[in-house]
Amino acid sequence: MKGLFYGLVPICRKEVLHILRDPATLVFALALPMLQLFLFGFAVDTNVRQVPTVVLDESRTQESRTLLDKFKGSDVFAIKREVSSVDSMYDAIRSGDARVAIRIPYDYARRLQDGSTATVQLLVDGSDSNVAGQTVNTSTGVVLEQSLLRVLPDGRMPIELRPSLLYNPAMRAANFFVPGLIAILLQVMIVLLIALSLVRERERGTLEQLTMTPVGPLGLMVGKMIPYGALAFAELCVILIVMRIVFQVPIHGSLVLLLLLSLPFLLTVLGLGLVISTQAKTQAEAFQLAMGTVLPSVFLSGYIFLIENMPPIFRVISGILPATYYIRILRGIILRGAGFDELWLNGLALTAMGCISVVGAAALFVKQRA
């Protein structure tokens, strides 16, 4: 057992020297996630607002203008211009000029007055289902409210909904996305750094030299994990500070618990990087394999898409991704102020995965070194 960990301290010390000796890699490792954080943090906004809209008002009456004002007032639609024909409505959407076109027919006001049903035509670009759904819903609401106001004698609504949004009252997308992004950024950085570090040794022949020494497989692996784990932990702290200060995302739960539950995630992705390094012969191969782990983590971890809506097979994959559990921990603590009682199972799952990946990597390493 002692032989397995032999050489841990010298390996660890040597890795620190490698990291300090190569500032380019260090800067790359720390700055790239930061750049991505800013990119995603500022660019990703899933709230549907100010959708470019064109209007064909054939009615040109007081009533039609009132209705259009209500559309404008919703913040969902930005009326760019009026068009003069039905054809130009379609043209505007096809060319991408507008995503919504509203047509109020010439008989709109007359039908309202004589009590028959007035129609309003809504053309929506359905290519982005999120935008399409949101604009149709808002339009329905606007029209429904106008209809009710006409039939209610004193203009007072019998029922009023008072929604109250917990945890993210301003519905800021950054509050939802940035915590998830932390998991993705850390995973990319760690898997790449540690996988490349081991494959570099293989390429340069130093790994062959090490196999001739008493260094044990776990001494080598854990010796590499400690410095890169420390680097990742520092990066996590920096990301959290940027999240709090630049993106104004409050941390509702315990910061200590967050940092503590981050450790098993770091362990798991470090182990994943080591597994990759046993499978890759060149640094280029390691890079590709590392990137291959990123895609499923982005799409199937719940970072972007709801896991509950996925087909069963993808839900199974989602269940074996470390990012899935870590994102639950991050969102739970940062957004909802969840405590250990609600999150310990995620931490346990990550710890189990971490141990399996590290021991698996060591076993693969021993098997192939001969």
Q: Which of 98, 95, 148 is nearest to 122 (CA)?
A: 98
Give the whole-angstrom CA distance, residue 102 versus residue 77: 10
The DSSP line for 114-181 is HTSPP--EEEE-TTSHHHHHHHHHHHHHHHHHHHHHHHSTT---S--------S-TT--HHHHHHHHH
Give the whole-angstrom CA distance, residue 283 versus residue 277: 9
Under rule CB under 8 A, residue 206 binds another protein: yes
Give the whole-angstrom CA distance, residue 109 versus residue 58: 10
Among 11, 189, 222, 232, binds another protein (CB under 8 A): 11
Write down the least CB distance from residue 348 to another protein, Å.
35
Look at residue 83 and give its three-state secondary structure: coil
Under rule CB under 8 A, residue 13 binds another protein: yes
Give the whole-angstrom CA distance, residue 114 versus residue 63: 13
Write down the least CB distance from residue 1 to another protein, Å.
12
Among 17, 39, 234, 255, binds another protein (CB under 8 A): 17
Among 158, 163, 214, 311, binds another protein (CB under 8 A): 214
Q: Which is nearer to another protein, 224 or 331 (CB)?
A: 224
Among 21, 43, 117, 312, binds another protein (CB under 8 A): 21
H/E run at residue 112: helix 108-114
Q: Which is nearer to another protein, 140 or 213 (CB)?
A: 213
Pattern 340-369, another protein, x by CB under 8 A: -----------------------------x
Q: Between residue 249 and residue 268, which ones bind another protein under the rule CB under 8 A?
A: none
Partners of residue 54 on adjacent β-strands = 81, 101
Under rule CB under 8 A, residue 209 binds another protein: yes
Write down the least CB distance from residue 214 to another protein, Å.
5
Among 143, 210, 238, 317, binds another protein (CB under 8 A): 210
User: In this structure, are residues 322 and 268 in contact, taking their beta carbons and an 8 Å threshold?
Assistant: yes
User: In this structure, are residues 339 and 360 in contact, taking their beta carbons and an 8 Å threshold?
Assistant: no
Q: How do 100-104 and 77-82 pair as beta strands? A: unpaired
- Segment near another protein (CB under 8 A); pick from 11-19, 138-146, 227-235, 274-282: 11-19
- Segment near another protein (CB under 8 A); pick from 1-9, 186-194, 225-233, 313-321: 1-9
Q: Estimate to the nearest angstrom the gap between the alpha carbon of 295 and the chain centroid.
A: 11
Under rule CB under 8 A, residue 204 binds another protein: yes
- Segment near another protein (CB under 8 A); pick from 17-25, 35-43, 144-152, 240-248: 17-25
Using CB under 8 A, list all residues that contact another protein: 3, 6-7, 9-11, 13-14, 17-18, 21-22, 204-206, 208-215, 369-370
